[in-house]
Amino acid sequence: MGVKQKICSFIYYKVLGWKTKVTVPDHPKYIICCGPHTSNWDLFIGKLFYAAIGRKTQFMMKKEWFFWPLGPMFRAIGGIPVNRGRRNSLVDQMVDACNRSETFHLAITPEGTRKANPNWKKGFYHIAMKAGVPIVVIGIDYEKKLITCEKELIPSGDIEKDLREIKLYMKDFKGKIPQNFTIGDIG
């Protein structure tokens, strides 16, 4: 266990009192679908969790934030600058980044906001499908102080069926602000 992992483990487990359930293997490449995303604290807790279990994650961020001195800092913690212009497909940008990398663990919150949103974004699914990588589903439960990483899904191409399965898995996790999370009407 490296120094960074020891420090993050100490903060995550001892100082903050969080727990983990992890059964999904650390594949070289996958998309992380994580939620509920109800607070800015989710990034901090999630990064601590991943470092504590000895894994690295990446996340997307507007390229405009990657100026000196913030750019090197954001890259160091896994930030990937993205061009959000209309002529640039974020899916294609992430598939290219995945294909260029030996390891690629991109964390995405499907709600796309910290407010209750029943219409989840589907970009994470399209990235996984197009890159041919699994989706690892991670649930953050503030009530139990537990992050669970026990579900893995290979995209079938039937996005509605797969998204329903992911939403049903996430429905019982309690975000920091529970009223800011919904799976919507899944029938």
Q: Is residue 146 part of a domain?
A: yes
pLDDT tens digits for 129-181? 999 999 999 999 999 999 999 999 999 999 999 999 999 999 999 999 988 88
pLDDT tens digits for 83-103? 776 666 889 989 999 999 999
Instruction: Identify the bridge partners of residue 104 per DSSP, sorted by sequence position.
Output: 29
Q: Is residue 16 part of a domain?
A: yes
pLDDT tens digits for 14-26? 999 999 999 999 9
Q: Is residue 153 part of a domain?
A: yes
User: What is the distance between the alpha carbons of residues 58 and 142, in angstroms, rounded to a whole number?
Assistant: 22
Q: Calculate the alpha carbon distances from 109 to 40, 46, 65, 134, 143 in Å.
A: 12, 11, 19, 16, 19
Q: Is residue 34 part of a domain?
A: yes
Pair 43, 114: CB distance under 8 Å: no
* Angle separating helix axes 123-131 and 159-170, nearest 10 degrees: 120
Question: With b meaning 16 or more CB within 10 Å and e meaning fewer, what string describes 124-163?
Answer: bbbbbbbbebbbbbbbbbbeeebbbbebebebeeeeeebb
Pair 104, 98: CB distance under 8 Å: yes
pLDDT at 37 over 80: yes
What's the domain count of the chain? 1
Q: Is residue 185 part of a domain?
A: no
Q: Is residue 187 part of a domain?
A: no
Question: What is the arithmetic mean of pLDDT over 109-137?
Answer: 89
142 secondary structure, DSSP code:
T
Question: What is the arithmetic mean of pLDDT over 182-187?
Answer: 78
**Quick one: pLDDT at residue 32?**
96
Q: Is residue 174 part of a domain?
A: yes
pLDDT tens digits for 45-78? 999 999 999 998 998 888 888 888 888 888 888 8
Q: Calculate the alpha carbon distances from 90 to 14, 28, 95, 175 in Å.
A: 38, 21, 9, 26
Domain hosting 17: range is 3-180
Q: Is residue 186 part of a domain?
A: no
pLDDT at 113 over 90: no
